[in-house]
Structure 1
Amino acid sequence: MGSPLQEKNQQVTFLKQRLNMFIDVLDAIDPEDTDLEDIDRLISMLDDMESKCKEFNNRDIPESV
């Protein structure tokens, strides 16, 4: 595990990167060949992003200047 992100800007950047990864995976999926494992993986990615949002929201970290 990496060290906790210390600034709100870092947290937002992290979440943007994760969202972009999700969008890339979603764009790469062929609807004709998608199976249950693919959908489970997408749901897991969304769950991870939701958990990070909650974690970041609960941290007492000052915004960067």
Structure 2
Amino acid sequence: MGKAIEERDSQVSYLKTRLNMFLEVLDSIDPENTELEDIDRLIGMIDDLEMKCEQFKENK
């Protein structure tokens, strides 16, 4: 497991990086060829981001 992110600046940087990764995946998807698994993967990424936001809020 990775090291816990405790500093506020590091948390924001982590979230920005993960959000940019999500946007890159979203941009790369071809709507004509998108499968259910692709949508599930995107939902999983959003769920992970939401979970991290909640963890960071608890650590304030």
Superposition TM-score tier, normalisation by shorter sequence: over 0.9
Aligned runs of 1:4-23 on 2, under 5 Å? Answer: 4-23=4-23
Tell me the number of residue pairs that the alignment of Structure 1 and Structure 2 aligns. 60
User: Quick check: which one's helix share is greater?
Assistant: 2
1:49 aligns with 49
- Identity, % of aligned pairs? 58
Question: Runs of 4 or more off by more than 3 Å in structure 1?
Answer: none
1:30-49 correspondence to structure 2 within 5 Å: 30-49=30-49
On the 8 A contact 2:6/2:59 being kept in 1, the answer is no
Q: Which residue of 2 aligns with 1:24?
A: 24
**Displacement of 1:32:** 0.2
TM-score (norm 1): 0.89
Unaligned runs of 5+ residues in structure 1 are 61-65
**TM-score, normalised by the number of residues in structure 2:** 0.96
**Matched residue of 2:32: which SS?**
coil
How much does 1:6 deviate? 2.3
